[in-house]
Amino acid sequence: MFQLSSQTAPLSKAQHYAELAVQARSLLADEHDLIANAANFSALVFHSLPDLNWAGFYFHDGKELVVGPFQGKPACIRIALGHGACGTAAQTRSTQLLRDVQEFPGHIACDSASQSEVVVPLIAPGGTLIGVWDVDSPSVARFDHEDARGMALLCAVFIELAWARAAQASGAAAHWRPAPPGMFWQLLPATA
């Protein structure tokens, strides 16, 4: 069973993210199921970082972002590319750091308690947009550039261990979209 690490000595923010990346690597190392890994990754981050009210994934289905595994209150189900922080991160393929969500034009408030946010685009090897990783806080200015770098580090671990392994295990290229009705998600062969 995986145990969250509890450091007794105070860590800098960079050290805390580095330690969290080690924990994520350990947590994801032996599992090939993408949804299981996304769920555990969300729980790890949500319970390891202070002052979060949402942490989770939106996966790109070829047209828009669709909510994936997360921790927090129920979320917006679908987000169009270019809309809100998540859609902007996906469309521009750049991290969005919102110190105050009220200052972001077109911010989508899935949880009215959210006051700051970091969204990191998830790009597979080869350049395919997987989706975005999103974390929210009920505190204004909870996140800074160091948090954005830390989240990018964590996302790199997720892509390496969860995404690439799931694609390899299924014999699929990094191609992701919703499965037919009655199924949740699937990785599809590159020919699909």
Q: How far is CA 122 from the centre of its chain?
A: 7
For residue 178, the model assigns a pLDDT of 44
- Angstrom CA distances, 140 to 22, 89, 101, 132, stand at 28, 20, 8, 21
Q: Sign of the CA dihedral 62, 84, 127, 14?
A: negative
For residue 180, the model assigns a pLDDT of 41
With residue 36 as reference, give the H or E element that holds it.
Answer: helix 34-48
For residue 12, the model assigns a pLDDT of 93
Per-10-residue mean pLDDT for the chain, 192 residues long? 58 95 95 93 98 98 96 96 98 97 91 95 92 98 98 96 75 49 42 41
Q: Report the candidate in 115, 134, 124 with the shortest Cα–Cα distance to residue 65.
A: 134
For residue 174, the model assigns a pLDDT of 45
Amino acid at 180: P
Non-local (6+) Cβ contacts of 37 within 8 A are 27, 28, 31, 158, 161, 162, 166
Q: What is the per-residue burial (b if ≥16 Cβ within 10 Å, else e) of 62-82?
A: eebbbbbbbbbeebbeebebe
Q: What is the per-residue burial (b if ≥16 Cβ within 10 Å, else e) of 101-118?
A: beebeebbebeeebbbbb
Q: What is the per-residue burial (b if ≥16 Cβ within 10 Å, else e) of 150-171?
A: bbebbbebbbebbbebbbeebe
> Taking a C-beta distance cutoff of 8 angstroms, is the pair 52, 185 a contact?
no
For residue 166, the model assigns a pLDDT of 73
- What domains are defined for the chain? 13-175 (3.30.450.40)
